[in-house]
Structure 1
Amino acid sequence: MHDAYVTWEEGKQICVELGGVMVVPQSEEELQHLDNIFSGQLFWIGCTDIVVEGTWVCFGEDTIDEQDERWAAGEPDSNGNEDCALRATSGWYDNGCDVYTNLICQRPA
């Protein structure tokens, strides 16, 4: 967990410098644990469609479908320039990469 608000790109770089990547929650249990850490605040997810609009790629995974159950209802909506994913208690959202929010890095075991 990083202690300052950062943009998605800044977060990506910080996690690399720490020897990891931005978190990509895999299970409901993991999501709940992370939500508890941040008390329902937003945090970046290591997923983006910045290379090809509508093709979401996550660190440690191949592409993910826009119907993936981790997305909040109606997301990703690509409303404007929203190429980076963040987590809210209701699910994942696509958002502008220049937004400042919390960061969680994960490292291989």
Structure 2
Amino acid sequence: MHDADATREEGRQICVELGGVMVVPQEKELQHLLNICSCSRSSFWIGCNDIETEGTWVCLDGEGTIDVQDKRWIDNQPNNNYGNQDCAVSHTSGWHDEECETTRKLICQRSV
């Protein structure tokens, strides 16, 4: 987990510099770990976005893109409420969309 808050792009770059990618919680165990990390009511950037095509959420996990329409979104999310919410955030209650220029915590993952 990175201590300082960062925009989504800053977070992506930090993870790359550390030899990884922004976390993509595909497995239940990893999502559970994110929920534990979020207990302080912090939200974390996850490596999912709909920047390319509004409404088509994909995740970059170092292997390619993954359709996430059926993942752990909070009710009524993603909603693009402010018209520019293209990046995904994980919170204790699930995922929601957020403006990419907002600053959040981040967790990077890499292969072992």
**Do both share a fold (TM > 0.5)?**
yes
Aligned structure 1 segments of 4 or more residues deviating by more than 3 angstroms: none
| Aligned mates of 2:84, 2:12 — CA distance in 1 | 18
| Aligned mates of 1:2, 1:65 — CA distance in 2 | 24
Counterpart in the other structure of 1:43: 44
* Pair 1:106-2:81 in alignment: no
* Residues 7-35 of structure 1, C-alpha deviations (whole Å, 9 max, x = no match): 00100011011111000112232212222
| Length, aligned pairs only | 108
* Pair 1:78-2:89 in alignment: no
Q: Within 5 Å, which residues of 2 pair with 1:1-109?
A: 1-39=1-39, 40-60=41-61, 61-66=64-69, 68-79=70-81, 80-109=83-112
| Aligned mates of 1:102, 1:83 — CA distance in 2 | 17
| Aligned mates of 1:92, 1:36 — CA distance in 2 | 14
Query: 1:98 corresponds to which letter in structure 2?
Result: E
Query: 1:34 corresponds to which letter in structure 2?
Result: L
TM-score by length of 1: 0.90
Query: 1:56 corresponds to which letter in structure 2?
Result: W
- Offset at residue 65 of structure 1 (A): 4.1
Quick one: percent identity of the two aligned structures?
A: 54
The root-mean-square deviation of aligned C-alpha atoms, in Å, is 1.4
| Aligned mates of 1:31, 1:74 — CA distance in 2 | 19
Retained in 2: the 8 A contact 1:55–1:64? yes
